[in-house]
């Protein structure tokens, strides 16, 4: 992992803690979560931003191999697959920034997020993270969040980060624009043109005619595009681009 990822998350966590530490709230006990039903492919944990880290877990070691003190925010970002890391980090940061500033009294914020996670033994699993606001301050702003991690490798083997976020006062388009800024320069302008035409069903020959370039040049661009994404089929390329705001 690049050191700047870990450092960025440490700085982010510190900034959030500085904000939340000023909130007035009635703290909740986590004891009842010990009875939360999970199976062998699941774990739960609570991140308390008032205390600056994860404060409770159940099933974490069984699923991931990590203990709670190895699974804080800056640790977790290092366990995410390098190809997923920037986008996941963007999503998580923007979700938290939103949830600690709006009134969630009428209903919790919910994040659904899939990504590849490296277990302590070095192997990767595809996980679904379902997170909800948990403790709120007197004004309904989030103080802590509850997360359920599920290993979905047996039903989802693609390499795409997929997500959905629901919360009060959310401008989803503005939120997506911020989240997807990580992919702003992922492809060149020419590559974006070719991807758009591929999505429209154009063949290599037709793309060459549309862009007034040779078929060989189009083929070279296609090869680079597929290599960047790490897929071999058009449907997977299009899925990646749509999920990450490129199309």
Query: Domain containing 233 — which CATH number?
Result: 1.10.10.10
Check whether residue 169 and residue 59 sit in a common domain: yes
pLDDT above 80: residue 205: yes
Mean pLDDT of all residues in 67-86: 93
Q: Where are the alpha helices (DSSP H) in the chain?
A: 3-20, 60-64, 73-79, 82-99, 172-179, 189-199, 204-211, 215-229, 234-243
Check whether residue 76 and residue 167 sit in a common domain: yes
Check whether residue 60 and residue 123 sit in a common domain: yes
Q: What is the pLDDT of residue 211?
A: 96
Check whether residue 14 and residue 122 sit in a common domain: yes
Give residue-wise pLDDT tens across range 98-151.
Answer: 999 999 999 999 999 999 999 999 999 999 999 999 999 999 999 999 999 999
Rounded CA gap, 50 and 33, in Å? Answer: 19
pLDDT above 70: residue 1: no
Nearest 10 degrees: Cα torsion 108, 152, 37, 98: -20
The CATH number of whichever domain residue 143 belongs to comes to 3.30.450.20
Q: What is the pLDDT of residue 3?
A: 55
Nearest 10 degrees: Cα torsion 203, 186, 179, 150: 80
Mean pLDDT of all residues in 228-247: 87
Check whether residue 101 and residue 210 sit in a common domain: no
Least confident range from 2-6, 138-142, 202-206: namely 2-6
Full domain range(s) for residue 53:
3-183
Tokens 């040049």 -> residue: 217
């Amino acid at each position: 992992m690049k050191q700047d990822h870990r450092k960025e998350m440490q700085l982010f966590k510190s900034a959030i803690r500085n904000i939340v530490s000023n909130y007035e709230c009635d703290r909740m006990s986590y004891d009842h979560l010990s009875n939360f039903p999970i199976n062998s492919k699941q774990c739960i944990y609570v991140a308390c931003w008032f205390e600056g880290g994860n404060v409770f877990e159940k099933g974490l070691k069984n699923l991931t191999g990590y203990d709670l003190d190895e699974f804080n925010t800056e640790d977790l970002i290092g366990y995410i697959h390098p190809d997923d890391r920037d986008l996941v980090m963007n999503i998580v940061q923007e979700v938290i920034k939103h949830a600690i500033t709006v009134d969630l009294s009428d209903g919790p914020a919910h994040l659904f997020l899939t990504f590849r996670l490296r277990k302590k033994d070095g192997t990767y699993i595809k996980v679904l993270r379902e997170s909800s606001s948990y403790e709120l301050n007197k004004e309904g702003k989030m103080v802590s969040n509850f997360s359920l991690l599920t290993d979905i490798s047996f039903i989802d083997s693609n390499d795409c980060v997929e997500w959905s976020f629901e919360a009060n006062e959310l401008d989803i388009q503005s939120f997506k624009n911020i989240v997807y800024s990580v992919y702003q320069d992922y492809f060149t302008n020419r590559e974006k043109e070719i991807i758009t035409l591929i999505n429209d069903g154009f063949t290599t020959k037709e793309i060459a005619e549309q862009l007034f370039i040779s078929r060989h040049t189009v083929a070279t661009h296609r090869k680079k595009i597929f290599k960047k994404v790490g897929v071999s089929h058009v449907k997977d390329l299009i899925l990646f681009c749509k999920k990450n705001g490129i199309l």
